[in-house]
Each structure stands twice: as structure tokens, then as C-alpha cells.
Structure 1
Amino acid sequence: MKKRTLAFLVATTLLGGLIGCAPLTVINALTTSRSYDKKADIAFGNDPRQQLDVYTPHNLSGLAPVIVFFYGGSWNSGNRGDYAFVGEALASRGIVAVVADYRLYPQVRYPDFIDDAALAVAWTLKDIHRFGGDPKRIFVMGHSAGAYNAAMVALDPRWLGKLDLKTGVLRGWIGLAGPYDFIPIENLDVRPVFFYPATPPESQPINHVMASAPPALLIASHDDKVVNPLRNTAGMANKLRASGVEVTELYFDKTSHASLIATMAWPLRGLAPLLDNVEQFVKSDGGREKYARQEK
């Protein structure tokens, strides 16, 4: 009964759009640790913010697919420890989860946090086999600002290219309520991050779509008052399709910008099948297996 009451309080708070430190703390308190082994505080760079945690599913038989996850927070806030529920959710579905921090404003501005995201991917490619992950099945995923980071790493070859890697090392990318086309910038917290009003056009993920991009799963809430889903999620999906890139585009009715990522946690999974869709995308190799079956 206590857990049910806490779950109700969490749901009520998040549906009000107030996803902050306290609600995330409650979610993590309700999250089991029985589905994974966790290795924390792994450095992928020299800065204290360049660290990650790895969640490996219990009882693996062979190497598992991998998701590198980046959280949101307008590039101003966030901590990987607040997203243990994401690591647990993915591990519970047989996916190795890498939850990475990255440097934030005012320590850095665009594009330094993208460099951090690329470094986290490079570390994953090199070392994830030691944690049960398959380096040939790596996906990047993010929510809000984290979805931007994931999109830029997957679409713009500059960032992995600095590390002598190509975007083709990724099997796909997953964007949850991501900002992909946001000039002119309306969010006052985000403006200094991107040098407003002189925001460079190359900072926009939608400007880097190419036919060689990996498959995408794009998910948003119809009732998103923070990141316009029509301009960003639908606009990105249309641009990808026009370039011949496979994309799955989904919208949910019972979530907001904030509560979308929270539906990864077990108390809120009834609000939207987000975790189911992520699992399906990853385990179908970014949709490749699904389309291969259809062509036979």
C-alpha cells in the first residue's frame, strides 16, 4: 500500500509537469535493483562531469544490445544518478544501459557537450564488451536536451569524426521530446548556451540529415508545452523520410514533456508504452529485422 501511495504521488507530481530532483528521487526510491549489476563512476574523460554508469542485465547469455542515454535539463542541469530508473528499465528488458553525464553551462557552451556525448560513445565502443554489451549493437538515446545530444552524435559526422569514428558505428538513435529545430531560441535558459542571438545554424540537428543516417525512433507527447512536437519531432521525422532514412514516429496522449521520460519507471509505465517501443526498436536492430521480414 505504501508503494502504491508513493506511486500515485509521483504520477500526480509529474503529470503536473514538475519533474525535478525530488520527484526523481522518489522514482529511484521505488525502482528495484534486482534486474541489473551496476558499475558506477567510470571516467570517459578528464573532467569530473565526464563520467558514466553502466547497468548490465542479470543472467545475460551472450552480448546484449546497448543504449547510451543522455538526460535533459536545458544543458544547464542534470546528473546521471537521478536516472537510475532509466538504467533499471533498460536492463529489465535485456539491454545494457550506459547513463552518461556531460559538461553543462556555464562551464561550457555549444558544442562542448556534444564532444562529451561523442566521447561517451567512443568509450562504449571500446569498453562495453567488458560489461556484457555488444559493441556492434550500440544505440544512442536522449530526452529533451539529451535527445539533442544523441541526434547530433548520430547525424553530424563532425563529433565522432574527431575521434576517428563514423556515425555508421551506431545502429540507431532514439529521440524523446527532442529539440531539433529551435532557432530563434525562445527558452531564456538556453539562449546563452547557444550564443543567442548569433546562434549558428549548424547547431541545429535538422540541418545534418543525410541518407547515410542511422534509423531513428522519435517519440513525443501531444501535450508538450516545452518543445514543440510538430516543429521538432514531426519536422525531423519528415526530413529523415525525405532523405530515405527509416524512422518510426510516435506521439502519446497521457504524458507531458517532463513525464514522458518518467514513464520508463514502473509506477508510470501504464501512461505510455515508451519502454515497449524502445525495446522493440533496439531488438529489431533499429527496425532492420522488421523490414527484412516484410520483404521476404
Structure 2
Amino acid sequence: MLLKQFSSHLQRLKSQLDQKTALAKAIYRDFRIYDLGSFALNRMTPKSGYTVQRNIPYGLKARHRLDLYKAKQLRDTQPLLVFVHGGAWMHGDKKEYHFVGEAFAKEGFNVAVINYHLAPEHIFPSSIDDLTLALNFLNQSNQKLSIAVENIVLMGHSAGAFNVMSALYHPTPYRLQNLQAIRAIIGLAGPYHFDYKGDPLCADAFDQNIPYQQVMPYYFIEQNHVKHYLFTAEKDNVVGLSNSTDLNEKLLALGNHSQLIPVPRVGHITMIGSVSSLFSRFFSTKRQILQALDDVFK
């Protein structure tokens, strides 16, 4: 009897492992497809309406680099949009997001697209350390870069959304030199509240001996002036909807501004690709982000 129960338990564990492995393989395949797609997107992205300075060092290490897209027709509020890419904290590079810089620079925003150190060599909170370093660099170098830093919006996709949220809500609060200038956070399909222990996709990005309750930004929310716009993808099969709904409820409960914004017809990875100038007419993602940005600076 005990042997039969043990065998049944092993079978269930094997089934769960097989499901997680299949999901991880599917997501990895999607990342590789996205790499090819972003290469094509960037090759076809319009070159007019902005200038770009590439590989600006914001720190001493090789991954401490950012690209700065400067609008030729900057909005009166001179906003600075800082974008952080996704990739399960293990994958991705700023060069793959030229289309993001173009998409919003042509709308009157200066856009900084940053690199950060990746797992498994660098685990949490390394990527948040890098983001904080980049933000403080932009604040210190604004005159040299000819940018304003009084109206900053942090925007991240997937792991990047976690990073921008964690820059504000972290177990050990960061010393951001220009915190009051951060007007809003835009999170695109962000994982803010999940257990990474044994996760087949991102376990290597976190210390497995530290409980997720001591890491996730959800547990460190505090009241402030920042507006939060939490975008969710209708067809997301990677990040659970509860990540955004739970965070939205907690932000509102503490008296913060928060808005949950569902985006139809996009999946986890295609959400960011849909902001491209080549595809934004077919999806509502970019339009909804611009509506949120208009709300920030109205």
C-alpha cells in the first residue's frame, strides 16, 4: 500500500516537472523567436524624428551602458522615459529595443534604454542596483547629456517591470537622488508577487534560500506621489494576472494612485513588440501607454 502511494506521488511530481519543463522550453523558444523578430523590427524602424547616443557608460562595468534617444520635437514638460527590458533576468540587451526608443522619442519623449547585469552570474538585487546607478547617473549628468530630469517615468516589460517597481519598493530602500522627479511607473506584464523557488524559468535569478516574501515589491509598498499603471496582456501565459491585480489592490489600499490596464490581443512577449511603429496601428498597446503618459502630465 505504501509503495503504491509512493509510486503515485512520484508520478505526480514527474508530471508537474514535465509541465514546468515544457513551459520553460516554450518560453525559451518564444525568446529566440522574439530575438529574430526584434532584429527585423529594429532594421525596419524609422530613423527620423529623433537622434540617438549609444553605449553611454553609467558605471564602471561592461553592462553599465545605456542608449539615449532624444526627441527632435520634445514635449513642453521635457519628459524622460527610462525603459528596462525583460527576459527573465537572464536574457536581453538594449540593442534589441531600438524600436522602443523610436516609438516614444517620436512622440516627444527623451528615452533612455538601459542594460543591466544578467543571471545566473548576477542575481537579485544586482539588476536593481544597476537601475538605481543609471537613474542617479542621469540625474548627475543631465546638463552634459542636454536632458531634463524633472519629469521621469520608469517603464519596464516583464522582468524589467519588476526592476522598475523594485527600485521604489525594496527590502532595503535605495537612495535615489531624484526620487521626487519620478512621476509614474508603467509596468508591462510585470511579475510583482510570485514564488520563484524552483521556477524553471527564473530560479537562477534569485537566491533560493531567501523566501520570495523578502524580495517581491508587493511586500514593500509604501504611500507616495508616484502614479502606477499596471498593464496586463490578455493572452499572457507566462506571468499570472494576480501579479498585477494583487499589486493594484495593495497600492490603492495604501492610498496610492494605481490603474489596472488590460491590453487585448497580445501575449506576454508580443505586448512589447506591439509598441513598434510598424505594428502599433494594429494593437492598442502604444495608444494606451500614451494615454497613461498624458494622464501623468496633464
TMscore range, shorter length: 0.7 to 0.9
Consecutive unaligned residues in structure 1, runs of 5 or more: 1-15, 290-296
Q: Which of 208, 216, 225 is matched with 2:220 structurally?
A: 208
**CA positional deviation for 1:130:** 4.3
Residues 192-215 of structure 1, C-alpha deviations (whole Å, 9 max, x = no match): 211225334221011111112511
What is the 5 A alignment of 1:90-129?
A: 90-129=104-143
Aligned equivalents of 1:185 and 1:270: distance in 2? 39
Residues 32-91 of structure 1, C-alpha deviations (whole Å, 9 max, x = no match): 110210011101111100100000011447662011100001111111000000000010
TM-score normalised to the size of structure 1? 0.84
Residues 82-115 of structure 1, C-alpha deviations (whole Å, 9 max, x = no match): 0000000010110100000000112211111100
Aligned equivalents of 1:68 and 1:191: distance in 2? 26
Aligned residue number for residue 172 of structure 1: 184
TM-score normalised to the size of structure 2? 0.84
Q: Which of 260, 272, 285 is matched with 2:283 structurally?
A: 272
Residues 1:139 and 2:150 are matched in the alignment: no
What is the 5 A alignment of 1:65-76?
A: 65-76=79-90
Root-mean-square deviation over aligned CA pairs: 2.2
Q: How many residues are matched?
A: 270
Aligned residue number for residue 24 of structure 2: none
Letter in 2 for 1:179: P
Task: Flag the 1:190–1:40 CA change in 2: closer, same or farther, 3 A.
Answer: same
Letter in 2 for 1:244: G
Please tell me whether the aligned partners of residues 24 and 82 of structure 1 are also in contact (alpha carbons under 8 angstroms): yes
Aligned residue number for residue 225 of structure 1: 237
Aligned-residue identity in percent: 26
Bigger Rg over Cα? 2
User: What SS does structure 2 have at the residue aligned with 1:110?
Assistant: coil
What is the 5 A alignment of 1:220-259?
A: 220-229=232-241, 231-259=242-270
Please tell me whether the aligned partners of residues 64 and 132 of structure 1 are also in contact (alpha carbons under 8 angstroms): no
Please tell me whether the aligned partners of residues 194 and 212 of structure 2 are also in contact (alpha carbons under 8 angstroms): no
Aligned residue number for residue 293 of structure 1: none
Consecutive unaligned residues in structure 2, runs of 5 or more: 1-28
